[in-house]
A and B are shown apart, each in its own frame.
Chain A
Amino acid sequence: MNFLDQIWLIPLFPLFGAALMLLLGKKLDPQPVSEVAIAPGVEPIYEHGHGHAPHHGDHGDSHGDAHGHGHAHGKLRSLVNIICPGMVLLSFIFSAGAVWELAQQTVRIKEVVQFTWLAGMPFHMANGHMANFSVDWGFLLDPLSSVMILVITGIGFLIHVYSTGYMAHDNGYYRFFGYLNLFVFFMLMLVLANNYALLFVGWEGVGLCSYLLIGFYFQKKSAGDAGKKAFVVNRVGDAGFVMGMLLMLSVLGTVRFIDVRRLLEQFPVETGGFGVLSIMALCLFFGATGKSAQFPLYVWLPDAMEGPTPVSALIHAATMVTAGVYMVARSAGLFQLTPATCTVVASVGAFTAILAATIALVQNDIKRVLAYSTVSQLGYMFLALGVGAYWVAIFHLFTHAFFKALLFLDSGSVIHAMSGEQDMRRMGGLKDKIPITYWTMFIGSVAISGIPGLAGFFSKDEILWQAYSSKSGSQLLWFVGLATAGLTAFYMWRLMNLTFYGKSRVSAEAAAHIHESPASMTVPLMLLAVGSLFGGWLGVPKLWTFFGESWRGFEHWLEPVFTSAAIEAVKEGEHSASIEAVLMVLSISVAIIGIVVARYFYHHKPEIPDSIEKAVKPLYGLLYHKWYVDEIYEFLFVDGLCKGGGLLLGSFDRNVVDGGVNGAGLLTRLAGIVSMWWDRWIVDGAVRFTAFFVKMLSYPVCILQSGRVQTYAFFVVAGVVVMFAYYAAR
């Protein structure tokens, strides 16, 4: 079978699953969701409250019924369990096949155009030439998109399998899986598209799905709000993306990746300030900050924790947030022509990395720590993109997908065990009670902290090295990255210590329920742990000459995508083994220091963090409240825009809109008056004058006709007399 020609099938499998679930799901999985969801006053189902109260409450009336129902349920659910992950698995198989075949080719690029989607429309480009606007519904498989589809379908499949266990007690089962499949579909469309317009379809699609999934527990107000927040913040970024795309259309006349890249090679590097290409790149980057949760648009991601945990894993690891990184990497040819924009990208990435890491230090919600960790790691990726190390960004995306999915699913497993508890202050000592979760999470934490040998080390160390050595990098960027690495190690081990070690602070109620998750959840965890252990060995540092070039497969695999004269120009200068060695030792020691300090603080001397907290209360408060960014936004944009805008809009409404309406009304009235006058005096006048004239004419005749017979008779007689008189006189 020729997988390479069938890449258009890859997104279709999850779409089929999604359509099946969302259209026929109700029949496959009859649920008492609607009553629970809609009935007012019913206690909302909290994240992993197992839906105990509403579910049992509703069916408590007849046990026999509930049993029969449950049984039928089981069968239909197993159907859902097979279809939805199965569709993603099929995608994964097709993806793997296609990538395998791609690897056999000498020119590793494959474009499959299905049909013309937006057909030709001639327009004037900025330079005055005519161009024909035409967008194909086409798919592009090259080394970059092949990495992406493998990550999306592979990790996505594991998350699907995990969800079958995690969501087992939940209502809206089919709905959840329908959304998940839809999410995977749109993400695959995004990375397989052969042009920006089709990419934008997937881009908007994942935005929609994130909204649906974050707001999955829509009975809970905070979840609904978080969904809306994600949607709105993403729209802000999307505006940038659209503007960038239109600018590209105006300057280059095409949005097809291959053409864009070919055309851009004729442009010189924009040195000294921001030219049109820089603005284009900035617009696209602004779109990426929305989707990939970079400052200033990262605020939706931590709130996305309101969704079920597998959704967090899917959004944070495999899909959604990687979209921005992918898009910028896809636009590498453009970004490399604009050093100023690259500096912005790198700075924003570094700033976001350290900002989010500092916030993660003091959060108490286990998922929230991981959420800020994701924002921070995405900052790393943008730092790498900004310094021109595109393959490293994708490499970090790849390794991060493993360990972040692992960490999120582990936290889900912990929450599952704790019957819905998310606050780490009420955990502790879970190490022996849920060993598989513990060990897999241990691996994930080691991996993200950057301990040599595990996935996170290779990519993070490469980023730090590139940030230091690249021509567009700097020591400041490197230092921020290094500090973030230390903070990362610290907050991850703070999380581990609070959750798994020490004395149990679990409430008695929850303690009774603690149990290891079912196999459907632990097996994906173990697979992801394997990925986190060995995923990094695809990109061994150059320093480790012992391993040779074949151990740097990831870089060589992506090389054809990111090779261009402009990129070569900013690549690392002299490779200095001694400096790299020093940097590596520094980053490793920072990670170890972070781990040791966290261990010391939260295990050996738990009173230290409290005293520090008291000593620097304002700073702690600042971090705990996330630098008050949400509040600032609330004040500036939500309140400011709503109220200020409300006032402005109010006056606009009153003066312009209402004025227009009133003016139109007044004009109509005036016209009415004129028209009425015309009608009354001219039209009616003419009619009435005619009538009057006829009446005047008829008046003499009228008075003859008195109705009195004798008068008539008199006329007859008079007539006769006159006639006789006439004859007589003649």
Chain B
Amino acid sequence: MHPITTVHYLALSAALLLIGTVGVLTRRNIVIILMSIELILNAVNINLVAFSHAIGEVHGQIFAIFVIVDAVAEAAVGLGILIALFRNKETVLADEIDLLKW
């Protein structure tokens, strides 16, 4: 049995980041996009926690908690914006909300 090393954590983190990024870029539903953003944030968290464990310091873990709080706030604001958008546009599909152009 191989022990779980930092590299495994980093691989998981990288996988999550990739999945999240692909999700953000490809999915049309904004709810899914927000969920993908959560994936990216959690990839970061895993990264932080992994290095914190490897180095033997707690700063990384503390920072991960900040990121979790930030993610919560971001999810709340993001969903709020989504609801406001839906009321106006009657859609939650990101490619139909294309106001940000020239």
14 contacts between A and B (CB under 8 A): A705-B100, A705-B101, A706-B98, A706-B101, A707-B98, A707-B100, A708-B95, A710-B25, A710-B26, A710-B94, A712-B100, A713-B24, A713-B25, A717-B25
By a beta-carbon cutoff of 8 Å, the part of chain A in contact with chain B is 702, 705-710, 712-714, 717
> Are B99 and A707 in touch, CB under 8 angstroms?
yes
CB distance from A513 to the nearest CB of B (A): 105
CB distance from A717 to the nearest CB of B (A): 6
Residue in A702, A709, A717 whose CB lies within 8 Å of B94: A709
Residues of B within 8 A of A707 (CB): 98-101
CB distance from A25 to the nearest CB of B (A): 83
Residue in B26, B100, B102 whose CB lies within 8 Å of A709: B100
Residues of B within 8 A of A713 (CB): 24-25
Residue in B25, B98, B100 whose CB lies within 8 Å of A714: B25
By a beta-carbon cutoff of 8 Å, the part of chain B in contact with chain A is 21, 24-26, 33, 94-95, 97-102
Which residue of chain A lies nearest to B28 when distances are taken between CB atoms in the complex?
A710
Residues of A within 8 A of B25 (CB): 710, 713-714, 717
Residues of A within 8 A of B21 (CB): 717
CB distance from B102 to the nearest CB of A (A): 5
Residues of A within 8 A of B33 (CB): 710
Which residue of chain B lies nearest to A702 when distances are taken between CB atoms in the complex?
B102
Q: Give CA–CA (A702, B102) in the complex, Å.
A: 7
CB distance from A709 to the nearest CB of B (A): 6
CB distance from B35 to the nearest CB of A (A): 14
Residue in A702, A709, A714, A717 whose CB lies within 8 Å of B97: A709
Q: Give CA–CA (A684, B94) in the complex, Å.
A: 41
Q: Give CA–CA (A706, B97) in the complex, Å.
A: 10
> Are A708 and B24 in touch, CB under 8 angstroms?
no
> Are A708 and B102 in touch, CB under 8 angstroms?
no
CB distance from B36 to the nearest CB of A (A): 10
Q: A705-B100, A707-B99 are in contact. List 4 more A-B contacts (CB 8 A).
A: A708-B98, A712-B100, A714-B25, A717-B25
Which residue of chain A lies nearest to B101 when distances are taken between CB atoms in the complex?
A707
Residues of A within 8 A of B94 (CB): 708-710
Q: Give CA–CA (A702, B25) in the complex, Å.
A: 20
CB distance from A701 to the nearest CB of B (A): 8
> Are B95 and A705 in touch, CB under 8 angstroms?
no
**Closest 3 pairs (CB-CB, A-B):** A707-B98, A707-B101, A705-B101
Q: Give CA–CA (A702, B21) in the complex, Å.
A: 25
CB distance from A700 to the nearest CB of B (A): 12
CB distance from B15 to the nearest CB of A (A): 16
Q: Give CA–CA (A705, B98) in the complex, Å.
A: 10
Residues of A within 8 A of B101 (CB): 705-707
CB distance from B12 to the nearest CB of A (A): 20
Residues of A within 8 A of B97 (CB): 709
CB distance from A205 to the nearest CB of B (A): 83
CB distance from B82 to the nearest CB of A (A): 12
Q: Give CA–CA (A530, B24) in the complex, Å.
A: 134
Residues of A within 8 A of B99 (CB): 707
Residues of A within 8 A of B95 (CB): 708, 710
CB distance from A702 to the nearest CB of B (A): 6
CB distance from B101 to the nearest CB of A (A): 3
Q: Give CA–CA (A416, B100) in the complex, Å.
A: 105
Residues of A within 8 A of B102 (CB): 702, 705
Q: Give CA–CA (A712, B98) in the complex, Å.
A: 11
Q: Give CA–CA (A705, B101) in the complex, Å.
A: 5
Residues of A within 8 A of B24 (CB): 710, 713
Q: Give CA–CA (A713, B37) in the complex, Å.
A: 12
Q: Give CA–CA (A709, B24) in the complex, Å.
A: 10
Residues of B within 8 A of A714 (CB): 25
Residues of B within 8 A of A705 (CB): 100-102
Q: Give CA–CA (A717, B101) in the complex, Å.
A: 19
Q: Give CA–CA (A712, B24) in the complex, Å.
A: 11
Q: Give CA–CA (A489, B97) in the complex, Å.
A: 121
Q: Give CA–CA (A707, B24) in the complex, Å.
A: 16
CB distance from A711 to the nearest CB of B (A): 9
Q: Give CA–CA (A331, B24) in the complex, Å.
A: 118
Q: Give CA–CA (A706, B24) in the complex, Å.
A: 17
Q: Give CA–CA (A707, B98) in the complex, Å.
A: 4
Which residue of chain B lies nearest to A720 when distances are taken between CB atoms in the complex?
B21
Residues of B within 8 A of A709 (CB): 94, 97, 100
Q: Give CA–CA (A581, B9) in the complex, Å.
A: 166
Q: Give CA–CA (A705, B97) in the complex, Å.
A: 13
Q: Give CA–CA (A451, B44) in the complex, Å.
A: 150
Which residue of chain A lies nearest to B21 when distances are taken between CB atoms in the complex?
A717
Which residue of chain B lies nearest to A717 when distances are taken between CB atoms in the complex?
B21
Which residue of chain A lies nearest to B97 when distances are taken between CB atoms in the complex?
A709
Which residue of chain A lies nearest to B25 when distances are taken between CB atoms in the complex?
A714
Q: Give CA–CA (A214, B81) in the complex, Å.
A: 99
Residues of B within 8 A of A717 (CB): 21, 25
